[in-house]
Amino acid sequence: MPKLQSAAEKPATTKNNTAWRNSIFGIFFLCGYAFATWVARLPAVREQLHLSTADVGVLLLALAIGSIGGLAFAPGLLAKLGVRRGITVGLLCLGVALAVLGAVTDLMGNVPAAIAVLVFYGFVFSATDVMMNVDGAAVERAIGKTLLPLMHAFFSFGTIVGAVTGAAAARVNLGVMWNFAIVGILVIALGMFFVRNLTELEPVGEKSVDDDTAGQSWIQRVLGVFRDGHLMLIGLMVAGLAFAEGSANDWLTIASVDDHDFTEAGGALVFGAFVTAMTAGRIFGGPVIDRFGHKRALVVMGIMGLAGIALFILAPAPWAVFTGALLWGLGGSLGFPVGMSVAAAHPTDGARRVGIVAIFGYSSMLNGPPVLGFLGEHFGVLNAFIVVAVILFLTLLITPRATHLARAQGAHLDKQNIT
């Protein structure tokens, strides 16, 4: 299997680091825009396909199944194709899948076809996500600054735009097919512009013989995480925070419409409040962590998220719904980018480590919401959110230990790089 060459192994003069960084920002934005477009129109998709709450859970499960497959194959695709070709193919497929999903929803009204498209959509989305995080970590090393939280903020910028345009599309009764097709075309067109600057981590030959994992299958490497206590705890922390994020991504709009009596456009705006807070947390989270440390920052923000979930469940008025969504978004904003940044900070094995932490995060983010769908069918979505609050509380209990290990591991890797 080819080895991926790190940024540190290539001459600094081989590319424009600023253009490289900005292109990664743009790719994160496009992925967030595509994802939020689907989420914001989920009530309309449900209506067009005549789905119950449990049926929506099945759609989300299909998305989750495809996403886990994408995570499993992402390191191999990255090694085979390199970042530029890998992300190019990913963005092309992402745009096409979104457009086809709109056509299947509006023109065919075919649930099995929608499920099949969502499996494919989830696969290309998660595979692209791993590749752009690995290249984002390479940008960090090349520039010498912590940038992954800000890159994830650009993903959140994209979700804000997707939520707002989705609300506008719902307000003017624009069909899901046209909405998804327009966004799909934009993802492809802008994506082809951004990928021009992605030349790092290309395949450069055979794996070095001194690689500790030489000869192992990717599955064997993934199973090796259970012997790595540092990575295991980071993964569990990311999983808990990702569950809180994913639950809001998939159910906040429907809960706002069904349980708090918002219109479809109003529900999209509640989701917009959530992703706006998520974005703000990621923009300012880096300086906050530098000042107060990982443990204090993540614990305090996690408590805010817990308060936000409780307020959203008990909200007596529209202002309380929006406030709960804002606090929820702030509370879950830093766990995923911090976990991915720590995992990627390895001189030779960043792709595998990012893939493993992504499996923790996305398994939780994508498999949790379908479970909430089944619970919501029987007990109501707001009551199902109690499960989210409990999981976030348990995550807060392990966060101090996980963040301590993250700092220790980072110091160890820095020492490795120096020596």
5 in a structural domain: no
Give the 3-state secondary structure percentages of the chain, helix then strand then coil, rounded to 5. Answer: 85, 0, 15
pLDDT tens for the 419 residues of the chain, in order = 344 444 444 434 344 778 888 899 999 999 999 988 888 888 888 888 887 777 787 887 888 888 888 887 887 788 788 888 889 999 999 999 999 988 888 777 778 888 898 999 999 998 998 888 888 877 877 777 767 778 888 988 898 888 888 888 888 888 888 888 999 999 999 999 998 877 654 433 334 333 444 445 555 555 555 566 777 887 888 899 888 888 887 788 888 888 888 887 888 888 888 988 988 888 887 778 777 777 788 889 889 999 999 999 998 888 899 999 999 999 988 887 777 766 665 655 666 677 677 778 877 876 777 788 788 877 888 888 999 999 999 999 888 877 664 444 444 444 433 33
Q: In whole angstroms, how large is the CA radius of gyration of the chain?
A: 20
What was the pLDDT predicted at 199? 61
What was the pLDDT predicted at 222? 54
Structural domain of residue 364, as residue ranges?
17-204+224-414
Considering only CA atoms, which of 372, 236, 395 is closest in space to residue 303? 395
215 in a structural domain: no
Domain of residue 357, CATH code: 1.20.1250.20
Considering only CA atoms, which of 202, 313, 326, 319 is closest in space to residue 273? 326
6 in a structural domain: no
Query: Residue 398: what residue type?
Result: I
The answer to whether residues 37 and 44 touch, using CB atoms and an 8 Å cutoff, is no
CB proximity list for 108: less than 8 A, separation 6 or greater: none
In whole angstroms, give the CA distance from residue 383 to residue 259.
10
Residue 267 Cα to chain centre, angstroms: 21
Alpha helices in 8-110 (DSSP H): 17-40, 42-49, 53-103
In whole angstroms, give the CA distance from residue 333 to residue 330.
5
In whole angstroms, give the CA distance from residue 117 to residue 358.
22
Tokens 């999209």: give the residue.
Answer: 268
In whole angstroms, give the CA distance from residue 339 to residue 230.
11
72 in a structural domain: yes
335-344 helix and 350-379 helix, angle to the nearest 10 degrees: 160
266 in a structural domain: yes
Tokens 């759609």: give the residue.
Answer: 59
Phi first, then psi: give them for residue 66, nearest 5 degrees.
Answer: -60, -40
Query: Residue 230: what residue type?
Result: H
In our burial notation (b when 16+ CB lie closer than 10 A, e otherwise), range 215-224 reads eeebeebbee
Considering only CA atoms, which of 275, 37, 322 is closest in space to residue 156? 275
107 in a structural domain: yes
CB proximity list for 222: less than 8 A, separation 6 or greater: 72, 352, 355, 356, 359
The answer to whether residues 256 and 383 touch, using CB atoms and an 8 Å cutoff, is no
DSSP helix/strand/coil, 147: coil
174 in a structural domain: yes
**pTM, rounded to two decimals:** 0.71
Cα distance between the two ends of the chain: 27
What one-character DSSP code corresponds to residue 106? I
What was the pLDDT predicted at 9? 43
The answer to whether residues 267 and 43 touch, using CB atoms and an 8 Å cutoff, is yes
**How many domains would you assign to the chain?**
1
217 in a structural domain: no
